[in-house]
């Protein structure tokens, strides 16, 4: 497997994301889908110390670079009284299923690094636990979205090509319109990130930038 690399840094994330977006033009479907904040929820996938801390074996080198943007987006959603939902991945031997076969280590409830990072531990948010890549699988996520009359989801977090991509596909299948910020997810290397953007842009999600979502007009009362 290609080694880990820090393809996103705080200094390069904007330029790198623009480069990714330019590459997507030949793959992106021509749609008239518009972002409608009043119908949207923000999903923040697995922003836990397990993936963000440098002393973790699962450390994602570029993950710290997306924290500022995600927090800004979450604050924007909160100001408009829109749902902000964070997932926290934790496993037991009983519920890991293939995760236990595929990976050497599992994130457990008593692992200190399983907690959401302090920067994103914000009021007026909902945290749900998940056990698989898919944030909808055996969780209350869909019920929460439907209860809030949500029809559009914005997906951010880690890892781009595993949990974020799987959740995006699952949301699409359930009838939610998916927006996928290019600068709002991170994973282990550029190749994985680019592959997800190409796949999702072709048939599952609209690639966007965090700032474009933040700049949307406020939801009217």
pLDDT digits (tens, 9 = 90+) for 132-178: 999 999 999 999 999 999 999 999 999 999 999 999 999 999 999 99
Which residue in this structure is represented by tokens 């636990």?
129
User: Angle formed by the axes of helices 13-23 and 64-79, to 10°?
Assistant: 80
Give the rounded percent of residues in the chain with a pLDDT score beyond 70. 97
- Scan for tokens 């989801």, then name that residue: 153
Q: Are 45 and 168 in contact (CB under 8 A)?
A: no
pLDDT-derived band at 25 (thresholds 50, 70, 90) equals confident
pLDDT per residue as tens digits for the range 33-85: 999 999 999 999 999 999 999 999 999 999 999 999 999 999 999 999 999 99
Compute the half-sphere exposure of residue 32: CA atoms within 13 Å on the CB side of its CA. Answer: 0
Output the six-digit token pair for 197. 């953007």
Written in H, E and C, the secondary structure of 122-155 is CCCCEEEEECCCCCCCCCCHHHHHHHCCCCEEEE
CATH number of 40-149+156-213: 3.40.50.850
Cα separations in angstroms, 141 against 135, 145, 157: 7, 6, 16
On the 0-12 / 13-18 / 19+ scale of CB atoms within 10 A, 42 is buried
User: pLDDT confidence of 219, banded at 50, 70, 90?
Assistant: low
The model's pTM: 0.96
């Amino acid at each position: 497997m290609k080694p880990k690399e820090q393809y996103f840094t705080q200094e390069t994330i904007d330029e790198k994301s623009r480069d990714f977006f330019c590459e997507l033009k030949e793959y992106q479907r021509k749609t008239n889908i518009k972002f409608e904040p009043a119908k949207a929820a923000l999903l923040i996938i697995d922003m836990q110390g397990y993936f963000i801390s440098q002393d973790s074996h699962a450390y994602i080198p570029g993950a710290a670079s997306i924290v500022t943007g995600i927090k800004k987006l979450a604050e924007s959603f909160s100001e408009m009284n829109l749902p902000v939902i964070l997932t926290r991945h934790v496993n037991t031997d009983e519920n890991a299923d293939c995760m236990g076969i595929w990976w050497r280590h599992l994130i457990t409830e008593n692992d200190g690094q399983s907690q959401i990072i302090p920067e994103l531990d914000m009021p007026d948010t909902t945290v749900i636990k998940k056990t698989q890549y898919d944030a909808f699988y055996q969780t209350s996520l869909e019920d929460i979205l439907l209860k809030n009359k949500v029809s559009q989801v914005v997906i951010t977090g880690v890892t781009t090509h595993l949990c974020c991509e799987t959740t995006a596909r699952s949301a699409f299948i359930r009838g939610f319109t998916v927006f996928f910020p290019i600068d709002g997810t991170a994973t282990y290397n550029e190749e994985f990130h680019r592959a997800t953007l190409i796949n999702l842009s072709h048939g599952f999600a609209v690639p966007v930038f965090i700032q474009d979502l933040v700049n949307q007009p406020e939801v009217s009362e």
